[in-house]
Amino acid sequence: MKILHLSDTHTNHDKINIPSDIDLIIHSGDFSSKKDSFRNESEAHSFLDWFSSLDIKHKILVAGNHDTSIQARLITPKEIENRGIIYLENASVKIEGLLVWGSPYTPLYGEWAFMRTEQELASIWETIPDDADIVITHTPPRGMLDLTFDAEKDGTPYYRLCGSKSLADRMDEVKPILNCFGHIHNSQQGTCVFNAGTRLKEGSRTIYSNGACSTDGMWGEITSHGNTIEITI
């Protein structure tokens, strides 16, 4: 099965190059940008119009912290599913024999959508089926393509890992074939940090995929067209 994984398109979905031979497309959140849920709703509808129109057999969507209109239920899961899109919110689905589980939740950072404490997240990750083949989360697991650059109040630069520690622990237990996420973009704010792409963890079969398509501070531009991953069923 050939999978295209996208994330963090932030209203620039129509700039993405879509290959012609994809069996499953996954978007792991932040398809919109505006924080206000009522203003966010029109962005989400624009994305859903585009996503549902793609000539791809299977389409799976997980929301992200910017997708406030989804959390507010201005757009309901049923509306999304009526467009021929599978929407996952702490739920699973079977796709051609593969068990796929998805969740929009991320560690607390500001006042955005779908955010929880690490303790609350751990309880969510415990519901991931032990036999899941593909796990879709908006947050990365800690230590996997989640490095970001920041600065102290005095301007002193530092790097930090932004993913969920409890998700990393759960991925070590479940060992899915694929963990798709986004949330932590590439960064060009003072230094270059590259998170978009895929990585294999030593000693694990899991492919970790950060599908972020935009770069921090450059949301008007697409800097990646997602990750294409082929897995054997």
Q: Mean pLDDT for each 10-residue chunk of the chain (233 residues)?
A: 96 93 97 85 96 98 96 96 98 97 94 95 98 98 87 73 95 97 73 78 92 72 90 84
Name the domain count of the chain.
Answer: 1
> Can you read off the two tokens belonging to residue 104?
């929009």
**Is the Cβ–Cβ distance between 108 and 119 less than 8 Å?**
no
Extract the tokens encoding 17: 């190059």
At residue 163, the pLDDT reads 94
Contact 189, 181 (CB under 8 A): no
Structure tokens belonging to residue 61: 């969507």
pTM of full prediction above 0.85: yes
Q: Identify which of 41, 13, 39 has the alpha carbon closest to the alpha carbon of residue 27.
A: 13
- Sequence-ordered list of residues with C-beta below 8 angstroms from that of 8, at least 6 positions apart, any chain: 29, 30, 64, 182, 183, 185, 211, 212, 213, 214
59 within 8 A of 85, measured Cβ to Cβ: yes
Predicted pLDDT of residue 186? 66
The pLDDT of residue 202? 84
* pLDDT value at residue 193: 63
Residue range(s) defining the domain that contains residue 186: 2-230
CATH assignment at residue 225: 3.60.21.10
Q: How far apart are CA 141 and CA 121, in angstroms?
A: 11
